[in-house]
Structure 1
Amino acid sequence: MKNDLTNKLFLITGGSKGIGKAIVEKFYESGAKVAFTYNSNQESAEEIISTLGNDTSRVKCYKLDVKNYNEIEQLIPQIEEDMGEIYGLVNNAGITKDGAFFRMQPEDWSDVIDTNLNGVFNMTKAFGNKVIRRGEGKIINISSVSGLKGSQGQANYASSKAAIISLTKTLAREFASFGVQVNAVAPGFIATEMVDAMPEPAKKKINSMVPMKRMGESEEVAEAVEFLASPSSNYITGHTLVIDGGLTA
């Protein structure tokens, strides 16, 4: 089976940069209709639409704070009015506020958990209420290898990403009888804009830690998400696909 997403509408959170942007572009190339959200970077979001040819019948962006459940409940009907019935959801929106645990402020903990974990709950709750009635659909959650092995200086981030993996497994069991597959992707070190800004010695140190001796590309993560969103993965649910060049092997 091919990874054909033709005419299926996917909602992707945090789609204006990095991995989210790559997912938006990959899904569009695969024939999907794409609604994606951004929290603050409207210029980048609109630039993506322009790059894809300004075809607003197939790709649109929406401002959204995933921490706000009321906003989400209002947005989903608006997207469906604009573009049609949403078939799948990619929970990608996330933030980092790194720091040693003993220096981490309570608000740094809460902000990351509220966005990364509660945001996934909010989006999946609002979307899930619709998709289970339809009897088919896909949910893909973006976790991280930090949720698999822990990450010094990222107690908040690693906790949120580990919880996403457990949530994915639980929802896979609960949604299976409704014809909905729920999976996760756990990227390792990926060459995003944030990593590109790091000093060269830091990049070399990262590369030396990875058995494949390089960082991954956002497009490589997007291809894995595309597979999990496609009919090719219809008998896969509750799985976390690790994309880390062997880092956690």
Structure 2
Amino acid sequence: MPSTAIEKDLVGKVALVTGGSRGIGRACCIALACEDCAIAVNYVRSEKDAEDVVAALRGMGVKARSFQADISKEDQTNVMIEQIMKEFGRVDVLVNNAGITQDKSFRKMTRDLWHKVLVVNLDGAFNVTSGVLDQMCERGWGRIINMTSIVAQMGNFGQSNYAVAKGGLIGFTKALAREVAAKGVTVNAVAPGFIETDMTASVPAETLELVKKLTPMGRLGKPEEVARAVRFLSAPQASFITGQVININGGMYM
């Protein structure tokens, strides 16, 4: 009789998800664990949120551990990568999800707010990717998924710093994809629209209603809908997809 067991695509693989303790990052951890992938959960502030995710992942039967680090700081990132390598021995899938917003109209934007957003969103991706890329290339297999944003593509009032940072991630994605394609490493970006997370929870209700009206599907997205794209891009079936930006925005930007 044919086997009824469902083959998992990422058995034996290890994923590092930055900003993995809540929102889209948490959903990415759960989605990758569905493929029997071991998960390293990076967080910067809430140990409780991170441990809640780890408990959920372990409940799914996968190896998981949380790692605290401010990825915008090279020294902290290097220590984290060293700990992950000691614990898991490798990183096969990197989800550069961690990011922040500091919104102000440009005429009121301070240099500090400008710089803070660029450092976390861009330097963070540089620091973590630098720490894991060589071992991916040496093994001839790797998946890097950068979390960008619809704001990088269409702009948004009060988010010039965020648009620059997330637009930079798109450029980084395409350039790095060309550099490592022959090494068996794919690099792609996922660009969410407005998603139901802590970040959008702080947006005024009237603004969210306007967002829904501007979205052909008439609603905000869910973190799980973003995570499904990350799950697919991480799988062997996505081996011929690289340098691409996958839009998940309900049709708000086409």
Q: Same fold (TM over 0.5)?
A: yes
What residue is the counterpart of 1:50 in the other structure? 55
Q: Is the 8 A contact 2:42 2:67 kept in 1?
A: yes
Unaligned runs of 5+ in 1: none
Distance 1:206 1:100, change over 3 A: same
> What letter is aligned with 1:128?
L
Q: Measure the CA separation in 1 of the matches of 2:59 and 2:205.
A: 36
> What letter is aligned with 1:245?
G
What residue is the counterpart of 2:103 in the other structure? 98
> What letter is aligned with 2:130?
K
Deviation of 1:201 after TM superposition, in Å, equals: 2.6
1:36 to 20, 34, 41: 41
What residue is the counterpart of 1:241 in the other structure? 246
Is residue 141 of structure 1 aligned with residue 146 of structure 2? yes
2:74 to 49, 64, 69: 69
1:120 to 125, 136, 140: 125
Q: Measure the CA separation in 1 of the matches of 2:228 and 2:61.
A: 23
Q: Is the 8 A contact 1:188 1:244 kept in 2?
A: yes
Q: Is the 8 A contact 1:185 1:243 kept in 2?
A: yes
> What letter is aligned with 1:234?
S
Distance 1:138 1:53, change over 3 A: closer
Deviation of 1:151 after TM superposition, in Å, equals: 1.3
- SS at structure 2 position matched to 1:86: coil
The normalised TM-score by structure 2 is 0.93
Q: Measure the CA separation in 2 of the matches of 1:65 and 1:209.
A: 35
Q: Measure the CA separation in 2 of the matches of 1:96 and 1:81.
A: 33
Distance 1:223 1:3, change over 3 A: farther
Deviation of 1:85 after TM superposition, in Å, equals: 1.6
1:6 to 11, 19, 41: 11
> What letter is aligned with 1:208?
K
Unaligned runs of 5+ in 2: 1-6
Query: What do residues 127-162 of structure 1 show as CA deviations (whole Å, max 9, x unaligned)?
Result: 112211221111000000111111110011000000
> What letter is aligned with 2:99?
G
Q: Measure the CA separation in 1 of the matches of 2:119 and 2:204.
A: 30
Q: Is the 8 A contact 2:92 2:142 kept in 1?
A: yes
Report the RMSD for the aligned CA atoms in angstroms: 1.6
1:182 to 180, 183, 187: 187
Deviation of 1:203 after TM superposition, in Å, equals: 2.2
Identity of aligned residues (%): 39
- SS at structure 2 position matched to 1:94: coil
What residue is the counterpart of 1:161 in the other structure? 166
Query: What do residues 26-81 of structure 1 show as CA deviations (whole Å, max 9, x unaligned)?
Result: 11122110001001111111111223346896111100111112222222231122
> What letter is aligned with 1:143?
T
What residue is the counterpart of 1:18 in the other structure? 23
The normalised TM-score by structure 1 is 0.95
What residue is the counterpart of 2:236 in the other structure? 231
Q: Measure the CA separation in 2 of the matches of 1:77 and 1:54.
A: 26
